[in-house]
Amino acid sequence: MARAKRIIIGLGNPGPDYEGTRHNAGFMVADAVARKAGLAFEVGGGPFASAWGSYRGTPIGVAKPLDFMNRSGTAVKKLVALSRVEIEDVLVVYDDLALDTGQIRLRPGGSAGGHNGVQDIIDRLNSANFPRLRVGIGSSFPRGRQVDYVLAPFDADEQPVIEEAVAAATEAALTFVREGLTTAMNRYNRR
Residue 76 · residue 126 · CB < 8 Å: no
Q: What pLDDT does 108 receive? A: 97
pTM of the predicted structure, to 2 decimals? 0.94
The residue annotated as part of the active site, out of 6, 22, 23, 77, is 23
Number of neighbours of residue 100 by Cβ within 10 angstroms: 13
Q: What pLDDT does 140 receive? A: 83
- Domain spans in the chain, listed from the N-terminal domain onward: 6-188
Q: What pLDDT does 191 receive? A: 56
Q: What pLDDT does 142 receive? A: 80
Q: What pLDDT does 2 receive? A: 57
Long-range contacts made by residues 183-190, C-beta under 8 angstroms, separation at least 24? 184/106, 185/106, 185/107, 185/108, 188/104, 188/106, 189/104, 189/105, 189/106
CATH class of 6-188: alpha beta
115 classed as catalytic: no
Averaged in consecutive runs of 10 residues, what is the pLDDT profile of the chain (191 residues)? 82 94 96 97 91 93 95 94 91 95 96 93 96 94 86 93 97 96 93 56
